[in-house]
Every structure is written in C-alpha cells, then in structure tokens.
Amino acid sequence: MRRSTRISSKQSVSTVVTNGSIKNESHFFTGDEDIVKTTSRKTTRTKRTVRSTKSDDSLSIDEEHMEEYTEELDNDDDDVVEKPRAKRRKVAIRTITKKGNANAQLLLHEHLFGSSPDTTPTQSIPAAVLPSRSHNLNYHRPLLLASKQGRDSLLTWFDQVSTKRNMPWRKPWIDPRSIQDKVELHSQLKRRAYEVWISEIMLQQTRVAAVIDYWNRWMARWPTIQDLAEATPEDVLGAWRGLGYYSRATRIHDAAKLVCADSDLRGLLPDRVDELVARVPGVGRYTAGAIAAIVFGKAAPMVDGNVLRVLSRQLGLFGDVKADKAVIDLLWAAADRLVRAVAQDGSGSDDVVPDNLKDGEEQTSDRPGRWGQALMELGSTVCTPKPNCAACPISARCRAYDEGLQLAARKGLVPKPAARNNSPIVDVEDACTLCKPFEEYADDDDGLNDQDNTSEIIKQQKSKTQVQATLQSFAFTTRTATKPTKKTSTTKSLSPSPAPLGAAATEVIANHARKFPVKVIKKAVREEETLVCAIRRRSDGRYLIHRRPDKGLLAGLWELPSHILEDPQNSTAKTRKMDAERYVTGLVGKVRSGTVKYVSDLGSVPWLFSHLKLTMHVHVFEVDGGKVEDDEGVEERGGNGTRSRWSDGVGIDEESMGTGMRKCWALVKEASVV
C-alpha cells in the first residue's frame, strides 16, 4: 500500500560545486527532528537524527525561494521515493542564477573566476553546441584568465591607440614612489583625481568628441576642485549646458564642496571604491572604479556599457546586460577577477615592491587603469554593436568569435579543422540557465547571402594554401619553435602561419558576435506637449523667466514660463492658443502687470530626452504695466513656490538653460520680438 504525505516546509538546500557542475543536497525535516537526506547522485536514502535544523548559511538557499515537495512513501516511513532528479536540480540552478541568492551567487562567481577554481582548464572546456548554443556554466570562464599573453596583447594595443582620439584627460599614471614630497604628492593626486572624476561624469551618456571641448573649457575655468567648490550653482549649470542630465552638474558641485570641507580628505577624493561610493555624491561603482584604478593604481573594475558588451562576447554570455541582475553581477565579477589578474601580471618599474608595502596596503601600478581604459576603448572603437572582429587584439580568446568561426566552417568558408567542433551533448541538468534561448532571441541574419557564399567557396577551393585555423590563429599569432623531446627530432619546427580569413568568413563571424548581448526592445518613450510662453514686458522689453525646481528633469535650469497640456491628443492650434492665454493671464496677475496681449504663434520645437519625447509650442505675449524690480518673486498656480525674474535678451542668453528651451528662445529672437 502506498500513500502520499506532504513533507514539512522546514527545509534547507545546500549547493556544492564539483567537477564543473552544481550539485544540490536537500534536507527535509519531519516533526520528530529526523532528517531525510537526498542527493541527485544517489537513489537511496539515509536517515539520522540531528540536534539542529539550521544549515550553513553560506551554502543555503533562501526559504522564500523554496518549493514544497510531495513525496511518495511506502508502508515503511523510512523508505522515501526521490522526486525526478532533473526537476530538483533545475529548480536549484535557476534559484542560483535567476533569483540572485547572494551566497549561492558568490559561490558561482568563485567557481568561475576564483584564484583556485574547481574547474577543468579553460582549454578543455567544451565549446557551445551550435546552433542552439547549449553549454554548461563552465563555458563562461574567461579564456583571458588563462592567457597572460592575451592580457598583454590588449594592453599593448591600447598603448598604441590611446592617443589617437586626443582625450586630454588621459595622462601618465602618477607613481607615488617618484614623488618624495608628501605635500606635492597630495597636490598632484588631488588634481589628477579631479580631472578623471570630471571626465568620467561628462562621458556618461555623451560621445567622447562632444566631451573634449566641454572638459577643456571646464578645466580652464575651474582648474582645481577648490575652484569648483567656490563657484556659484548658476555658473556650474551654465558650463554644463548642452551635456544633458543636468542633475549631474549639481551633484558634482555639491560633492566638490563636501570633499573640500572634509578635514580628512582636504580636497583629495578617496582612493577606495567603497569610500568613493559612500562619501561622494553622484559617484557609483563604475566611476569609483575608474578613479581608484586610473588615479591610484588600485585593482578595481571599470564596467560601463561598452565593457559589458565586450565581456558578454568574451564569455559567450547571451543575456540581458541592462536589466538581468544575475548577468550584470556575473560580468562585474569577471571584470574584477580580470583586473586583479592584470595587476598581478606586472613586473618592472611600474609595480610597488611588496617589501615596501605597509600592513594592509594594496599593491599598485598603472596596469589596472590601462586595462580598464583598454576595455572601454575596445568597446567604443572595435567591439562596437557592429564589431570589427578582424581588428580585435583579443579575438583569439573570445567565445563569440569562436562560435562565429564554427558557423563559417559550416558554410564552407573556413576548413572544417579550423573550428572546434568536438563539443559533447550537454546534460540538461548541467546546462547554463544564465543565457537566453539563442534561437528565440537572436535573429537569423548572418549578413551573407547565398551568392556571396558560393563565390567565396569557389575562391577558397582554388587556393592551394592549407589553412590550419584554430581559435588562436587569427589574432596576434607568432611563430614559435617546438621544444624537442626524446621522441622528436632536435630540428626546430615552426608552426605554420595561418592564412587570413576571407571577407565572407569575417562577415559571418562579426554578424554572429554582434548578436551578443541580447538585444532588448526599448520601451516606447512617454510623449508630452507643453506651451512655452514668451512674456515680454512692454515698458522695458524684458522677459519673464522661471527657474525649475532643484530636483527632477532639468533641475535648477532657467526657462520661459511653460505649461503642460493635459490632453495633447485632442489639442489644436486654436485650443492651444486659448490654453496659453488662460495660463498667461493667471500668471501675469501674480506679477502685478497690466493687460495681456497675444502676439503670435511661432510654431513647435520637438525635443527628445532618453525617457521623454517633448513637443514645445511657442507663443509670444506682451503685457502692459509699470516697471517691476528685478528678481521679484512670483508663485505658480497651485501654490508651488517658483523663483522668477524679468530679464533682458542679453541676460537670457547667459542664463543656464536647457538646449531644447534655448531653441525656443532662438525662435523668439528670430521673430524680432526682442
């Protein structure tokens, strides 16, 4: 006779990483404190009495992510029938990778990136099985971790290209051993940290070419952090005009005043990532990592959008690098392990001699900063959304490149021995659950039509060159001599220099790589329409301007009085004119001016923010009345206090104003209303 029993929900699951797979042990507790232990590796059960129902917190899964299981029992209560292994293991792996359990995630990161990971060598990790890309978690261990030559190749490449874009904030690392005077060292580090900090904040969401002029003007106006701290908010916002995200400028100004007022910092930004994030407003872990690595030589990861894309391809991680926290955290962990490996690689004058280090002091050099900038430079110039794999210095260690090479071999564009196609079938229980299903999320366009494919194959068949192509054969390959052994001749044999890939094969590889990371469909931006009212005072020709609130969109900037349309879908030119007249009449009554006269409709100015599509309808008004003192306070309807004043045309030109609003002001001036 068989009966069903629900096991108590008091349970714990332990996660163990062995031999490249994740093994889970589940303990189900009965009311008598007996423990029934099950594992995916056994079909029998053992029963023992325990005194505690607590498991090791470092390996347990949060109870909120658990499921209750119903087990089939025989007459003998000790004989427990195991649930299907695949289901139990799949739930546990999904918990680790998707639910973000902190302890299990740390265990996974240590498994993949730890200094002594429990994995097979990277060279023997099976490749992904195409076209589905089935693979296990070990596949995401960076090949660069096992290749000092690959890491050095990227640094060498960066040293060669770092000056091509003329970025004025890229300067040699300040070696603290080279400056004996502590006061002078403090002064130089303070200036350098300030320069890097400003450049990194400006570069967020802004092209390098646009930032260069802004950075040069900024540094000419405020060459030190003390100079910035003494500036007025209006001047800071004015200097930031055109860069967007104006709250960044406000936070920079606030942070400068805070750092200069701190008796411990004395104007010098902290040199540790955690302190930078905790003590400096507006500094996140990316900016903190850049300052710590570039300025202070600390082994800190620098991960921006470009680096996330590079590492996604390097690791063959087909995931959402913008919203999937498990994927983002894994890439950050990989970046952290790589920069520490690069820091340990160094030798020579750039490295602090360990004997000179004080207790707890970290070894520093220019290598972490160069490495972080190299990854960002690679992502912005080579490993772009449409990559140029032929120019990449580390394609030989790139998982996405390797997969593209396999595809090229299948199309006959590369000899079949070129691609690593020895991948065994991946056990579904050990399969990676971090990556999205490739065939569902990746498009089928490989950038090569049948006609190009056929012509390229014919060209390669005519060639008599034998190509021994491997993953390492296409990037910075050198001819090396084979070391003789007892069974081999002492004659030195040189490895053949591989022929370059054809254009069609290169295109197939690049089009496969561009699918990484997962392309996320952007949400439709919110649309909004506003009435922008230029109100000119006839007595002195001045215009009324408002200052926006200190928080929110375009915080602290000046603008012409504006009113959001409540029903833009049903608005017409006539209704907008009526709405503008009502808005201005109510507003002018609060500044004690006379009658309102509608002048003209100057048209519309569209402006796109990252999250908002704004259409501004510009209307011009004139008001009668006596001269009013400058900076007289007024209040908007609704009781919200608003800082306002009357200003002439020259004054408005000099005000800190958003780019879209400045276009509206330009329409007013062009209409000769000034």
Catalytic residues: 200
Taking the CA atoms of 234, 236, 239 and 242 in sequence, report the sign of the dihedral they define: negative
Packed helices 450-462 and 503-513: angle between N→C axes, nearest 10 degrees:
130
Euclidean distance between CA atoms 65 and 363, whole angstroms: 41
How many degrees, rounded to 5, is the angle at CA 333 between CA 99 and CA 93?
A: 30
DSSP one-letter code for 75: S
Residue 672 φ/ψ region, left for φ over 0, alpha for ψ in the -120 to 50 degree band, beta for the rest: left
CA atoms of 283 and 548, how far apart (whole Å): 24
Give the whole-angstrom CA distance, residue 221 versus residue 231: 10
451 CB burial (10 A radius; 0-12, 13-18, 19+): exposed
Place of tokens 């200003």: 647
Q: Are strands 526-537 and 612-623 parallel, antiparallel or unpaired?
A: parallel
Q: Measured between alpha carbons, how far is residue 145 from residues 119, 123, 142, 399 in Å?
A: 13, 11, 6, 13
Residues linked to residue 647 through DSSP beta bridges, in sequence order: 543
Return left, alpha or beta for 512; rule: phi > 0 is left, psi -120 to 50 is alpha, else beta: alpha
Q: CA-CA distance, 155 to 342, in Å (whole number)?
A: 9
* Other beta carbons less than 10 A from residue 257's beta carbon: 17
Rounded to whole angstroms, the Cα distance separating 276 from 294 reads 14
- Whether a cis peptide bond, with omega within 30° of 0, leads into 517 is yes
CA-CA-CA-CA torsion sign (199, 202, 206, 209): negative
CB neighbours of residue 578 within 10 Å: 13
Q: Coil, strand or helix: which one is 325?
A: helix
Instruction: Find the Cα–Cα–Cα–Cα dihedral 369, 372, 375, 376, rounded to 10°.
Output: -100
Helix (H) or strand (E) holding 39: strand 34-39
Alpha helices in 353-502 (DSSP H): 367-381, 399-410, 438-441, 450-462
Report whether 533 contacts 560 (CB < 8 A): yes
Do 499 and 583 contact (CB within 8 A), yes or no? no
Give the separation between CA 83 and CA 220, rounded to whole angstroms.
70
Instruction: Of 182, 268, 264, 265, give the one whose Cα is nearest residue 225.
Output: 268
Looking at the DSSP bridge assignments, the partners of residue 13 are 26
Enter the DSSP assignment of 134: B
C-alpha 228/C-alpha 220 separation (Å) is 11
Q: Reduced to 3 states, what is the DSSP secondary structure of residue 581? A: helix
Radius of gyration of the chain (CA): 32
